[in-house]
Copies of this chain bind each other. A is one copy, B any other.
Amino acid sequence: MRTLTDISMPICPGMPVYKNKEEKQPVFETTSDFSTASAHETRLHIDAHTGTHIDAPLHMLEGGATIESIVLSQLVRSCRVVDLTGVTDAIRAADVEELGPKAGEFLLFKTRNSSDDFFNPEFVYVSADAAQRLADAGIAGVGIDALGVERAQPGHETHKRLMNAGAIIIEGLRLADVEPGVYTLVAAPLALVGVDAAPARVFLMTE
């Protein structure tokens, strides 16, 4: 019996956006409705980093690869949801050490962020030293339940160390209802070409 657990953020006007910046809010423009036409149609105006999304290297690395460089076989695979709900500020190298990250693993960090339904500027993030430890371990990717994997630290070292190691970064997960453990991750970004990120529908599967 297959179970599916959606770990994506709903996307609509008024949703949490990074740093509560108004210009990052989604806008849904009705371009046709039944008052004047026979079909209802909508144009979406949304940031590539809206809600649950996958960063491409170009987001932080000049000349970096764009989102289509990340292929489905890297995103549909085993993952491990780890409990870091005890962390209050930043995930440090020692926290990573305790997890025992293995080469090729995809880790999803469940933190206290998952209980926030608003943008919390004090969200738990991944420190640069933790990112280095993850990179050294050869992990395949990380996911976090915040709209950023770091809080815009100078130099964006967390992003860069992960990206330079080829690790995929998924941001904006919703893990409140997920028990720590091993799952099949299905991360399905829009098939965008040439850009620095893609919003994604992401869910966990057990067979």
Chain A contact residues, CB within 8 Å of chain B? 2, 4, 6, 8-12, 23, 28, 31, 34, 38-49, 51-52, 58-60, 62, 64, 68, 72-73, 76, 155-156, 186, 188-197, 199-201, 203, 205
Contact = CB atoms under 8 A, between A and B. Distances in A.
A48 B42 contact: yes
A70 to B, nearest CB: 12
A203 B194 CA distance: 20
A157 to B, nearest CB: 11
A191 B51 contact: yes
Nearest to A13: B194
Nearest to A35: B62
B41 A47 contact: yes
A10 B68 contact: yes
A133 to B, nearest CB: 23
A193 B40 CA distance: 15
A40 B52 contact: no
A43 B45 contact: yes
A39 to B, nearest CB: 6
Contacts of A196: 39-42
B11 A193 contact: yes
Nearest to A71: B6
A41 B68 contact: no
A207 to B, nearest CB: 8
A110 to B, nearest CB: 19
